[in-house]
Structure 1
Amino acid sequence: MKHISILIASFLFSLLFFDKSIGLNLSIFSIITIVFLGFYNLKAFKNQRIRFYTLAYIITAIFVFVQHSGLSIIANCIAFFTLVGAISEQNTSIYVNWLNGMFTTIAAFFYRYISVNGSEEKVDWKKNIDILHLAKLIGIPLVFIIVFVLLYKNGNPVFNDLINTISFDFINFQWVLFTILGYYLFSNISKPVQIEPITSQDKQITDKLYKSEHFSEVQLKKEKQLGTTLLGLLNLLILLYIATDVTYLITTNATTGTELSSQVHNGINTLIASIFIAIVIILYFFRGNLNFYSENKILKNLTYVWIILNVCLIGLIAIKNQNYIALYGLTYKRIGVYVYILLTCVGLITTFLKVLNIKNMVYLFRINTQIAFILLIVFSTINWDHTITKYNLNTAQNFDISYLINLSNRNAVLLYEQKDNIIASHEHKKRIDTKYWSYVEDVVQNEWQEYSYETFVISKKTSKLRN
């Protein structure tokens, strides 16, 4: 039964992906994968985490069809590895799920033949699969058949004509290889495996930080004094920087692209260095027994203040970036600034929680990778090219029309619909027409496996034009 279901899944895999671009096929594959995993690992799906990762995988599959963007495809692939890895072991960190998911997808078939029931004992290959005998069984008869066919061809003209009429053109060897790849993939994920000892070690490590046996009051007092002095001075310095930055924003009216770009980029460079050093310093002082020192209250308060001031610094960079966007429009780099701002805020908040709740470094790594996974899924639900184009056409005071035209075809419909309202040269409008109709032609030629939501939108619009 298992081999039959894997064979069916492998044929569906070839039907969906062989010689096809990504589209509806990846969404259907995600559904098939969930059904397949559920069939062989039904108990695992009773776990709440597995259900959450299944939901995340379904969401990414939906948005592969709706958005059809590279980011949504990446999010779907990572969600796939997360789900497969979580099924192999539910109680591990998400980054261990990724490792187990990738390992299962790539090597589970071979791993199961060199281990026994997940233990480290090696299988006797000769006992389980006699490879030499199998090679003899297939190879020797094949060699002799070929030799005798060649001999008989020379000895009998009728036999020679019969052999020459035999053609294997009806067999698509690339399709066969692709189907074998599908069989290998589904065979791997039918029973997800774990990487050891990484998985077992991760399960044993907790997020809590514990007091070590060597607890020196004298040493901790000195360390506390150093930390208090350092963070106190750094708080004063960042306060002065923020005050001067606010003064600059209020008194200076930067209107040129060069000035605004300089403000944002210089601010980001300052932010990168500042946040990195801030987190390193905090993690250094709160790496061990200083967390349990009774006289660390001032140091902790100074740490909280410094984190809050760094968040204020992030806010100032966000204001500068927004001024730049309002005047010169959205671009991927300016969106990237906001993404970086969000990630740094997350890093500071989780560092704050680490100090507040006395957590270890593993806690930071676990929670930040989980948040990164969620943010990736959220970002993959947005059609960024369409968003950039819509904002620039409707809100921005100035924008680069060439930049919009050079974006992917996911903004082709919007550009074409608003072409008459855009102040642009005849050459640019001609490029918009070319982009749109080239996109329409590509969409119309897509086979059903390559469909996306945009396919139906384009088909509807073109049918109206024809009527």
Structure 2
Amino acid sequence: MNALPLFTPTNTARAEAAPYAGPVWRPVRLVLTATQKWLLPLGVLAFDVLFWQQGLGLNLAIYTLLAVLALLAGQPRAAWRSGYFRLVLLGALVSCGAVAWYGSATAALACTGSLLMLWGYANQPPLKQAALALLTGLGAAAQVVTGLPALLLRALPSRDTKAGRAGWYVRLLLVPVLILGVFHMLFVLANPRYSQLVGRAWQALGEWLGRFFELLSLGHLLFLVLGLMVTAAALLRVPLPGLAQWEARFGELVRRRRDGVASFSVPRPDFRRRDFRTADLRKEYLAALAVFGLVNLLLLAVNAIDISWIWIDFRPEPGFDLAQFVHEGTYVLIFSILLAMGIVLWFFRRNLNFYQPGLPVLRWGATVWVLQNAVLAVSVGVRNYHYISRMGLAYKRIGVCFFLLLTLFGLLTILLKIWQRRSAFALVRLNSVAAYLVLLALAVGNWEVWIVRYNLTVGFPQVDYGFLLDMPGRVLPALVKHRAILNRTKHITRDAGGFYSLYEEVSPAVAQRMLDERVRRWQQRYQAQASWQDWNYMDWRAHQQLPAADKAPSTH
């Protein structure tokens, strides 16, 4: 099934499919093919070699590529016709490269989520919702994990005649082995040189067994079981049509319901009857018109204040708590925007979309409200900009920027719902794709290095140097490069610890020593623990650019 275009609605609403009466979860009997029987142990071995006692980096990229190749080797022809499958496949490859390049947690999250969604779309190509594809991938993996013990039991050799003959040969060799043991003990007592050689052999065997049993510790055995489950979930295919059939009930456009006129109903005054009388559609129209009209006036006043105060002439007074102004104000305004989107979805969810006498006025009122909420979102972005321009970049401030982009996109889809009668299903589909693209954008960004460069080169009077030093080791070359800026910074702070996250001010000399110590410790840890499994390019380049662990930098 071809994926629907992002912004072009179908000419007619999709007919509602019959409700899916079957269970979403149905146990299946797993069967291994001849190829899977030798791929499964190889996959477990690869999982153990790549991930045991290792961080995430090149190993996750390699395993992801192997899993994708195993999926594509199955020739999922129906999945190839889905645009969502192709998009997620591209996203898996991009996030795979981001893991090998940065080794960041965001890239690993994007890589893992892409794999699960890819398995979901391959399992059920008609799926459109990214969240349902993710749940389908998780459900299929859970089916494999729960059916794995029975599959392994069926793979054990049965008691046939061959096994009986093998037992007979073992019993036959038991007497010669006992005789060999008796002569071995006699030679040990009679020949000192033979006894010495035998002692060395037993010592070497004991050391090898010690290393072997140390390798097969309880933790390692559990890790091997985890590798078996992950590899089996990547190789085996189980049908899980429940979510896809449930999704098929929903259409792209709102359809007019003939069982009632309005979108809500009120009970009859006669409580002896159980049926309900549908409220007049005109009353709902008047209620929606009143909501849009009154809130538009209120939001107009708020936006006018924000534009004149925050956009044009923002001059905080002495002692003004900028952090509280941004944090609390941002959360409240974002909640206001989401609430406004929910109210629009509520009024335009059913037959009010077909009320021709007042539909143009209602649409324009809702459109003005959506546009004013977009202005409100921009005001939140301006607040965040003022905070960044005075305090510097941080993870949450970057996150707010991307969340506002998603919010503006969501408001755009609300306009599509108003003017094209899009359903809530269509809006969730579009916004889930946008959220996935934002996750990929976060995965491919070198955010920590950009934060360090911005915070140290703009010329802020105060720098939270402890926050910069707590970042991953790939930022250390940038910190060393810009270390001279510390001597020109008025206030250098670090986390003082404690429950209330207090900050203490340090001198430039102390900050320089903190940087030297951080570089020395990171270099020592990298030289001692780095391996090809958790290799990533940014850490390797940082190791090449930084001085050796026994030579702390002193150019300050």
Contact residue 6 and residue 187 of structure 1 kept, 8 A: yes
CA 1:78–1:396 in structure 2 vs 1: closer, same or farther (change >3 Å)?
farther
Which residue of 447, 456, 470 maps to 1:393?
Answer: 456
Which is worse superposed, 261-270 or 277-286?
261-270
Give the conservation status (yes or no) of the 8 Å contact 2:406–2:434: no
Q: Which protein has greater RCO, CA pairs closer than 8 Å, 6+ apart?
A: 1
Residue of structure 1 in register with 2:132 after alignment:
96
Paired residue for 2:545? Answer: 461
Letter in 1 for 2:347: F
1:358-437 equivalence runs, <5 A: 358-398=421-461, 399-423=463-487, 425-437=508-520
Normalising by structure 2, report the TM-score.
0.71
Root mean square deviation of aligned Cα: 3.4
**Contact in 2 for aligned 1:41/1:87 (Cα 8 Å):** no
Matched residues in 2 for 1:301 and 1:267: separation? 28
Correspondence for 1:22: 56
Q: 1:404 to 1:110 in 2, by over 3 A?
A: closer
Q: CA deviation at 1:258?
A: 3.8
- On the 8 A contact 1:23/1:68 being kept in 2, the answer is yes
Offset, 1:259: 3.5
Q: In the aligned structure 2, how far is the partner of 1:40 from the partner of 1:6?
A: 15
Q: Which residue of structure 2 aligns with residue 117 of structure 1?
A: none
| Counterpart position of 1:247 | 308
**1:188-203 alignment, distance < 5 Å:** 188-203=233-248
Pick the aligned partner of 1:324 from 383, 387, 392.
387
TM-score (norm 1): 0.84
1:13 counterpart (47, 66, 74)? 47
Q: 1:230 aligns with which of 291, 302, 310?
A: 291
State the shift of 1:356 in Å. 1.9
AA at the equivalent of 1:412: L
CA change 1:384–1:269 in 2 (3 A) is: same
Q: Are the aligned partners of 2:337 and 2:377 in contact in 1 as well (CA < 8 Å)? A: no
Taking the aligned partners of 2:119 and 2:63, their CA distance within structure 1 comes to: 14
Question: For 2:432, what is the secondary structure of its paired residue?
Answer: helix
Code of the aligned partner of 2:514 = R
Tell me the alpha carbon deviations over residues 376-424 of structure 1, each in whole angstroms, 9 at most, x when there is no partner: 1111111222111111111253332222223333322211221123236
Q: How many residues align?
A: 441
% identical equivalent positions:
23
Change (3 A) 1:2 1:239: same
* 1:301 corresponding residue in structure 2: 364
**In 2: Cα distance, 1:45 partner to 1:208 partner:** 25
Residue of structure 1 aligned with 2:339, choices 277, 281, 300: 277
- How far off is 1:274 after superposition? 1.7
Point out the structure with max Rg over C-alpha: 2
Structure 1 pair 87/113, CA: closer, same or farther in 2 (3 Å)?
farther
1:211-230 equivalences under 5 Å are 211-216=256-261, 219-230=280-291
Q: Provide the secondary structure at the position in 1 that maps to 2:253.
A: coil
Cα separation, 1, equivalents of 2:113 and 2:540: 27
Given that 1:27 and 1:64 are in contact with CA atoms closer than 8 Å, whether structure 2 keeps it comes out as yes
Distance 1:63 1:255 in 2: 44
440-449 or 309-318: which moved more? 440-449
Report the Cα distance in structure 2 between the residues aligned to 1:258 and 1:58, rounded to whole angstroms: 47
Structure-1 separation of matches of 2:407 and 2:115: 27
Distance 1:269 1:97, change over 3 A: closer
Please tell me the residue identity of whatever aligns with 1:186.
Answer: T
* Structure 1 Cα separation of the partners of residues 515 and 460 of structure 2: 21
Question: 1 CA distance for matches of 2:550 and 2:305?
Answer: 62
Aligned equivalents of 2:365, 2:118: Cα separation in 1: 41
| Distance change in 2, residues 1:442/1:464 (3 Å) | closer
Instruction: Tell me which protein shows more helix as a share of its residues.
Output: 1
Q: Which residue of 2 aligns with 1:65?
A: 100
* CA 1:212–1:339: 2 relative to 1, 3 Å: same
> Could you tell which deviates more after superposition, 352-361 or 400-409?
400-409
Give the alignment of 1:9-158 within 5 angstroms. 9-44=43-78, 46-47=80-81, 48-92=83-127, 93-111=129-147, 129=154
Contact 2:59/2:534, CA 8 A, preserved across alignment? yes
Shift of 1:278: 0.8
Return the alpha-carbon distance in structure 2 between the equivalents of residues 195 and 113 of structure 1.
20
CA distance in 2, matches of 1:98, 1:234: 38
